[in-house]
Structure 1
Amino acid sequence: MRAVFSLAMLLLVALMLGSSEAARNKKEKGKGSKGASDCAEWRYGNCIANNGDCGLGVREGKCDEQTRKLKCKVPCNWKKQFGADCKYKFGNWGECDSTSNTKTRAGALKKALFHAECQHTIQVSKPCSQKTKPKEGEGEGELE
Structure 2
Amino acid sequence: MHFIPSSEKNKPLQSGSECTDWRYGNCVPSNGDCGRGFRDGSCDQQNKKMKCRVPCNWKKEFGADCKYRFGSWGECNPSSGSRTRTGTLKKALYDSQCEQTISVSKPCSGKTKTKTK
Q: Distance in 2 between matches of 1:54 and 1:32?
A: 28
- 1:46-86 alpha-carbon deviations (Å, 9 max, x no partner): 00111111111100011001011111111222523201110
Following TM superposition, the consecutive aligned residue runs of length 4 or more in structure 1 with deviations greater than 4 angstroms are 31-36
The letter of the residue matching 2:61 is: Q
Counterparts of residues 75-94 of structure 1 (less than 5 Å): 75-94=55-74
CA RMSD of aligned residues (A): 2.1
CA distance in structure 2 between the partners assigned to 1:91 and 1:36 by the alignment = 47
Letter in 2 for 1:48: V
Tell me by how many angstroms 1:36 deviates. Answer: 5.0
Higher relative contact order (CA 8 A, sep 6+): 2
Task: Looking at secondary structure, tell me which structure has more helix per residue.
Answer: 1
1:113 and 2:97 matched: no
Choose 1 or 2 for highest CA Rg: 1
Please list every run of 5 or more consecutive structure 1 residues that lacks an aligned counterpart in the other structure.
Answer: 1-30, 135-144
Percent of aligned pairs with the same amino acid: 62
Q: Residue 66 of structure 2 aligns to which amino acid in structure 1? A: C
Which consecutive unaligned segments of at least 5 residues does structure 2 have?
Answer: 1-10
**SS of the residue 1:131 aligns to:** coil
TM-score, normalised with respect to structure 1:
0.65
Conserved? CA contact 1:85–1:112, under 8 Å = yes
SS at match of 1:114: helix
Count of matched residue pairs: 104
Pick the structure with more strand per residue: 2
Query: Does the 8 Å contact 1:74/1:80 carry over to 2?
Result: no
| 1:23-51 superposed Cα distances (whole Å, 9 cap, x missing partner) | xxxxxxxx896555311111100001111
